[in-house]
Amino acid sequence: MIIRDFGSVANSEARVIFATVGWEDCGYPEQELIFETRDGGLDHPAGEPCADAFLSACFPLAAVHGEARVRIEGQPCPMLVEGLYTAHAWWKSWGGPSRLPSIETSGRLVRSGFTGYQRGVAFLSGGVDSLHMLMRNRRLYRPQDPAYIRDALFIHGFDIGKRARDPEDERFRTALRHLEPLAAETGLRLISCRTNLRHLPSKPDFWYYRHNGPALAAVGHAAIFGTAFLFIAASHDIANPVPIGSHPAVDGLFSSQRVTVIHDGARHARFQKVRELASWPTALAALRVCPSNPGNELNCGVCEKCLRTRLELLAAGVEETAALGPSLTPIELWNNLGPVGDRAVTYEDLLAPLRARGLTALCGVLEKKIKAYRGGYGYRNPDLAQDT
134 and 165 part of one domain: yes
**Do 87 and 165 reside in the same domain of the chain?**
no
Specify the pLDDT at position 280.
98
3-class DSSP state of 346: helix
- Identify whether 269 is part of a domain: no
Q: Output the average pLDDT for the chain.
A: 92
Closest CA to 17 of 25, 27, 41: 41
User: How far does CA 57 lie from the centroid of its chain?
Assistant: 13
Pairing of strands 14-22, 31-38: antiparallel
Q: For residue 258, is it within any domain?
A: yes
Tell me whether residue 288 is in a domain.
no
pLDDT at 44: 55
Same domain assignment for residues 143 and 243: yes
Flag whether 284 is in a domain.
no
β-pair type (2-10, 14-22): antiparallel
**76 pLDDT higher than 50:** yes
Domain count across the chain = 3
Mean pLDDT of 342-364: 93
Domain identity same for 225 and 357: no
Q: Which of 60, 79, 105 is the last residue of a domain?
A: 105
Q: Are residues 212 and 336 in the same domain?
A: no
Percent of the chain at pLDDT above 90?
A: 84
Does 197 have pLDDT greater than 80?
yes
* Parent domain of 311: 299-374
Q: What are 98-152's pLDDT values in tens digits?
A: 999 999 998 765 555 565 689 999 999 999 999 999 999 999 999 999 999 999 9
- Is residue 141 in some structural domain? yes
CATH classification at residue 189: 3.40.50
For residue 335, name the pLDDT band (cuts at 50, 70, 90): confident
**Domain end among 105, 137, 159:** 105
| Residues 63 and 125 occupy one common structural domain | no
14 and 88 inside one domain: yes
Read off the pLDDT of residues 212-262 as tens digits, 9 standing for 90 and up. 999 999 999 999 988 999 999 999 999 988 999 999 999 999 999 999 999
* Segment 1-40, tens digit of pLDDT: 999 999 999 988 899 999 999 999 999 999 999 999 997 6
95 and 130 both lie in a single domain: no
Query: How far apart are alpha carbons 167 and 160 in whole angstroms?
Result: 7
Tell me, yes or no, whether 123 and 259 share the same domain: yes
What Å distances lie between residue 372 and 138, 305, 379, CA to CA?
38, 18, 9
Quick check: is 82 in a domain? yes
Residues 230 and 258 in one domain: yes
Does residue 45 fall inside a structural domain?
A: yes
Q: Which of 80, 105, 130 is the last residue of a domain?
A: 105
Asked if residue 166 and residue 42 are part of one domain, the reply reads no
Domain match, 132 and 257 both: yes
